Amino acid sequence: MNPEMQMESYLTTLRSHLGLLTLAEREEIVREIEAHVRDSAEEPGATVETILARLGPAQELAAQYRDGLLIRKASRSFSPLVLLRASLRLATKGVSGVFVFFCSVFGYSIGAGLIFVALAKSIAPAHTGLWVEDGQMAALGAFEYDLPPHAHEVLGMWIILKTAVG
Amino acid sequence: MAKLRALPAADDQPDRWEAQLRKGALEMAALASLWQGRLYGLEIIRFLENHSRLVLAEGTIYPILNRLKAEGLLTSEWVEAEAGHPRKYYSLTEAGRVRLRLMAAAWTNFSDGLSRLLDPVLERQEKLQ
């Protein structure tokens, strides 16, 4: 393969792995990397092969661009799916990423649980709430079975507001 | 980073840690390279090589520039060159300058604190040597 073909093949792989970005963004990235290769080739002793090796595999370079986009989207988005996808992607990057991922799963689970409690209160008010027994929290949530006899429910309908705020 | 990749990074925790540290600093370094004026990608890479000991995987800088631009800290323009192809020049925006000043202050603060913490460790090492 001659140097020009090596570069073209690298750029083709790069372009095909930039899937999520817009066409204009993709073309601009490819154009910039092409300029990098051409400029680097002017330096003494440089070959297209070493230049491409120093850029790293095209798939990996594309993945870094996609990560940047995902982080950008996640920082502007309230969609749990986008945030979970971003934190899952971080989780593949190391221990701290895994920690972030589990925190977000944990956070969303609590959120979903509280929303469930709020809905349950409006459907089955007698079986949903925060019960206190001898000054200590005995139960929080929605229950099918009978509650501890000495415990009393403290929040009443406030629980809907609390869970909405929480 | 091409050099770093050659190291047994996965097994060798200190090397991996150092690679992460360099990567973390790269965003600030890229902004700092543009403090004096506009540069294109390869110039930024060479600037960082000459002015800091950041070993750089050349590919890494481009996605970072792309992200900094999307965040509004950089602008870019294509400029025709004698080389026969246009080059994409980056410059700091006002927001980029503000952010870089804050980053520089936070960094100095951080590294001063750590240096004080690490002084005894390094002294001990000198005695051992």
Total domains present in chain A: 2
B63 vs A61: CB contact, 8 Å cut-off? yes
The first and second tokens of residue A147, run together, are 């509650």
B70 vs A32: CB contact, 8 Å cut-off? no
Q: How close A99 gets to chain B, by Cα (Å)?
A: 17
How is chain A split among helix, strand and coil, in percent rounded to 5? 65, 10, 25
| Higher-pLDDT residue of A149, A69 | A69
What's B39's domain CATH number? 1.10.10.10
Half-sphere exposure of residue A15: CA atoms within 13 angstroms, side-chain side: 14
| Higher-pLDDT residue of A66, A71 | A66
Minimal Cβ distance to B62: which of A32, A53, A71: A32
> Mean pLDDT, to the nearest integer, of A70-89?
73
Q: Whole-angstrom Cα distance, residue B78 to residue B40?
A: 9
Q: What is the pLDDT of residue B2?
A: 44
Residue span of the structural domain in which A64 resides: 1-76
In this prediction, residue A156 has a pLDDT band, given cuts at 50, 70 and 90, of confident
Mean pLDDT of chain A: 80
Q: Is the ipTM of this complex over 0.90?
A: no
Q: What is the pLDDT of residue A11?
A: 97
- From residue A6, alpha-carbon distances to A27, A50, B38 in Å are 18, 11, 30
> Mean pLDDT, to the nearest integer, of B9-30?
79
**Residues A118 and A69 occupy one common structural domain:** no
Q: Is the pLDDT of residue A51 over 90?
A: yes
Nearest to A33 by CA among B41, B26, B33, B81: B41
Domain end residue (candidates: A31, A56, A76): A76
Q: How many CB atoms lie within 10 A of CB B71?
A: 17
Q: Is the pLDDT of residue A136 over 80?
A: no
- Percentage of chain B beyond pLDDT 90 is 60
- Percentage of chain A beyond pLDDT 90 is 32
Q: Is the pLDDT of residue A52 over 70?
A: yes
In a domain, A137, yes or no: yes
Q: Is the pLDDT of residue B5 over 60?
A: no
Domain end residue (candidates: A76, A96, A130): A76
In a domain, A149, yes or no: yes
Asked if A33 contacts A55 with a C-beta cutoff of 8 angstroms, the reply is: yes
In a domain, A88, yes or no: no
A-chain residues near B60 (CB < 8 A): 56, 64
Q: Is the pLDDT of residue B8 over 50?
A: no
Nearest to B27 by CA among B85, B103, B91, B84: B103
Total domains present in chain B: 1
Q: What is the pLDDT of residue A38?
A: 93
Q: How close B82 gets to chain A, by Cα (Å)?
A: 11
In a domain, A138, yes or no: yes
**Residues A4 and A51 occupy one common structural domain:** yes
Q: What is the pLDDT of residue A157?
A: 72
- Percentage of chain A beyond pLDDT 70 is 75
Residue span of the structural domain in which B18 resides: 2-128
**How many Å from the N-terminal Cα to the C-terminal Cα in chain A?**
62
**Residues A65 and A11 occupy one common structural domain:** yes
**Residues A11 and A67 occupy one common structural domain:** yes
In this prediction, residue A107 has a pLDDT band, given cuts at 50, 70 and 90, of confident
Minimal Cβ distance to A39: which of B1, B5, B42: B42
Q: What is the pLDDT of residue A113?
A: 75
A68 vs B63: CB contact, 8 Å cut-off? yes
Domain end residue (candidates: A76, A100, A131): A76
A68 vs B85: CB contact, 8 Å cut-off? no
> Mean pLDDT, to the nearest integer, of A79-97?
69
DSSP 3-state assignment of B91? strand
B96-119, pLDDT tens digit by residue? 999 999 999 999 999 999 999 999
- B40 interfacial to chain A (CB closer than 8 Å): yes
